[in-house]
Amino acid sequence: MHVVGLTLDLNWFLQFIFTLFIFALGALHLLKNTASKYFEVDANFDRDQTMSSIPVDPDLSPCAVCSNTASKKCSRCKSVRYCSSACQKLHWNAGHKTKCKENSAQTASIKLFSGVALVPASGTSKIIKKPRKVLFPYDEFVKLFNWEKPGFPPCGLLNCGNSCFANVVLQCLVSTRPLVAYLLEKGHRKECKRNDWCFLCEFQIHVERSSQNPHPFSPINILSRLPNIGGNLGYGRQEDAHEFMRFAIDTMQSVCLDEFGGEKAVDRVSQETTLIQHIFGGHLQSQVICTNCNKISNQYENMMDLTVEIHGDASSLEECLDQFTVKEWLHGENMYKCDGCNDYVKAWKRLTIRWAPNILTIALKRFQSGRFGKLNKRVIFPETLDLNPYMSEDGDDTNLYKLYAVVVHVDMLNASFFGHYICYTKDFCGNWYLIDDHKNFLYAKPSVIPIQSSLEDGVMRVELEDVLSQGAYMLLYSRVSARPSCLRTSGTQGKDEQKSMKAEEERCPKDQIASVAGKESD
């Protein structure tokens, strides 16, 4: 009985310990939920020891408690920063709790009586600008496009582990004159209305640091937020540079629209008047001609870049663009439903560029399914590109472009899932550089192919001939002169097209409209 009694007491004791453990977990969960209302609780603090080797942007404000580099801020007042959750709690208990509440109450009072629209976002309120027809004046953009300051040579970036795909895109964006001119001259951070992390704010810090720092640095503040830029992007994984470029441009466009209430609050016409649309935006025209009644149907689509095939005999960029704009025969199972004939008929279809962007990004479709998934075919590309042969209508010398950045994917055995990205960029003085972050690895990565170990800080001066001999994956061209008019909205033929023309006349200066009026179709 004594043994049995001892066994029963031991079982009771174990059950008591288990019950206490469950209560402790519940109390910890309740404590975290309560603290999250006043602190920025982030699981990354639990991994401080693991992440210590990754450099954090030193331009951030110091910790309010220990003055160390701080990457987190008070989630209520946003006015102070901390390096860890422990410092947050110490500062909170030291009196910041009361001050934080007063600041939050004053901010809320100002917002409620400011007379501007309020849109709830993540449980808080932010000031929203009133939408208007022109979100960013085109004449202001032209000044940025013609920015005459000499700029700065490229600054190397540290590879934080499979981050070369993002680093090359960031280098290309830092070489994009109107975007850099805007961030350095006007700035986005002081006008940003977002309560959460903002890619354009972080990229402005990145540009400012690139212009001032001659030594390589880590873009970890951007890399650690990849899911905020593209939902399927992941930190530490090998990703596609072109995909990241598209996500980055789309994210900057969303930031511009958020200042006016977001995409749903801004009409489609005005969405094409943001700074990002002025830089990268253009229009494609899809024209279908019925072979029976000769009825012409035009549809227009906004474009931020061009992706062209490199199959067949095409060996140059011009031949790839010829294939992109070639007439396609619609017949058989792919017949066209003509509104004029009210029947399925044979027709011709052609895709052309209606309005060319000021900054043109061209991606060569090298990656495919099957085998190793990479086409390493040699494609010749020019320094000066004439887009007139690929326009919907006869153009002029404003459709001439100059090359300023090239992205190259270096692989082994034509593998698309394996390799390394490098890039070539031209500074604002016309000097070309090879940028390769392979030398600047923070971690050992045997899967990456050595490129040029002789690069100092990952950047080396090269000649134009070296650039033009590369197997390009992405090409970035800038117009010789800015487009003479605002970007037109997409539309259809007839009355809708006339309404579109009228809308553009209302938001574009008269002298700009006159220069392109002769190009309008009936």
Which structure tokens are listed for 333?
Answer: 């199972």
Which structure tokens are listed for 316?
Answer: 């140059």
- Quick one: which of 425, 417, 416 has its CA closest to 470? 425
Hunting for tokens 């929203």 — which residue is that? 128
Q: Is 331 among the residues known to form the active site?
A: no
Annotated active-site residue in 91, 278, 409, 420: 420
Give the contacts of 439 (CB within 8 A, at least 6 positions apart): 452, 453, 455, 457, 458
CB atoms within 10 A of CB 208: 16
Q: DSSP E strands: which ranges in 314-466?
A: 328-330, 336-338, 343-345, 347-355, 359-364, 384-386, 400-411, 419-426, 432-435, 459-462
b/e burial code for range 182-201 (CB count within 10 A of at least 16 → b): bbbeeebeeebbeeeebbbb
Three-state SS for 194? coil
DSSP one-letter string for 112-129: HTS-SEEEEETTEEEEEP
CB atoms within 10 A of CB 115: 5
The full 3-state SS of 21-59, as one line of letters, equals HHHHHHHHHHHHHHHCCCCCCCHHHHHHHHHCCCCCCCC
CB of 404 closer than 8 Å to CB of 425 = yes
Annotated active-site residue in 74, 100, 164, 508: 164
13 vs 19: CA distance, rounded Å: 10
Q: Is 215 among the residues known to form the active site?
A: no
**DSSP classification of residue 417:** S
**DSSP classification of residue 130:** P
Residues serving a catalytic function are 164, 420
